[in-house]
Amino acid sequence: MVLAQGRQRVDVETAKERVLDAAEELYYGRGVQAVGMDAVRNASGVSLKRLYQLYPSKGDLVEAWLRRRDTRWRDRLARYVETVDAGRPRERILAVFDWLYGWFGEPGYRGCAFINSFGELGAASPAVVAAAREHKEAFRRYIGGLVADAELPAHLAGQLALLAEGAMTTAAISGTPEAARQARAAARTLIGD
């Protein structure tokens, strides 16, 4: 009995991962409104019944996708920045923009999933609004921690985050990662490096 329950939990977790992986590819690649639950079912290989057991509505699935994306995105950024010597805290700030440059250059880059989802669903989905705001605030706090480590004025956190946000949007529209280089140059001026 315990083994069967354990297997069922694993199956549920596997199904959730498959559904979220499919949602990631489809929602980010095509947009949330353009993708129905049938497309997620087909891409994930999870039955529609199981899909709705896991995520009773498309809104629930979108929120779960955004929450997972937030965690993964911020973890990737932090791991990259941590490769820079902690004794060089200003370089860690600039490393954020180096990481953005790499992200912007990835195949299929479509901008920030949170900005995109907010633009599509913000007026109709308080959950998407909350997820987007929480992601942006967590990013600003992360930048704030880097600013504090560099013993720079706290107000720079908001300015640096705004540079990064603008670069995300500009890179998506322009189709080139160069906005990250321009934002990095502006950040270097702001931090006096």
Backbone angles phi, psi at 40, to 5 degrees: -65, -40
Binning pLDDT at 50, 70 and 90, where does residue 2 land?
very low
Task: State the pLDDT at residue 5.
Answer: 47
CB atoms within 10 A of CB 52: 16
Over the stretch 51-70, which tens digit does the pLDDT of each residue have? 999 999 999 999 999 999 99
Domains of the chain: 1-56 (1.10.10), 66-191 (1.10.357.10)
Task: State the pLDDT at residue 83.
Answer: 96
CB 163 within 8 Å of CB 186? yes
- The predicted model scores a pTM of 0.90
Q: Which of 67, 100, 96 is nearest to 82 (CA)?
A: 96
Over the stretch 78-130, which tens digit does the pLDDT of each residue have? 999 999 998 999 999 999 999 999 999 999 999 999 999 999 998 889 999 99
Relative orientation angle of helices 113-121 and 126-149, to the nearest 10 degrees: 150
Alpha helices in the chain (DSSP H): 2-30, 37-44, 48-54, 58-81, 89-104, 113-121, 126-149, 156-174, 178-191
49's tokens: 């019944």
CB atoms within 10 A of CB 3: 7
Q: Which of 59, 61, 60, 56 is nearest to 20 (CA)?
A: 61
Over the stretch 10-41, which tens digit does the pLDDT of each residue have? 488 999 999 999 999 999 999 999 999 999 99
Across the range 142-153, mean pLDDT stands at 98
In the three-class reduction of DSSP (H, G, I as helix; E, B as strand; rest coil), residue 71 is classed as: helix
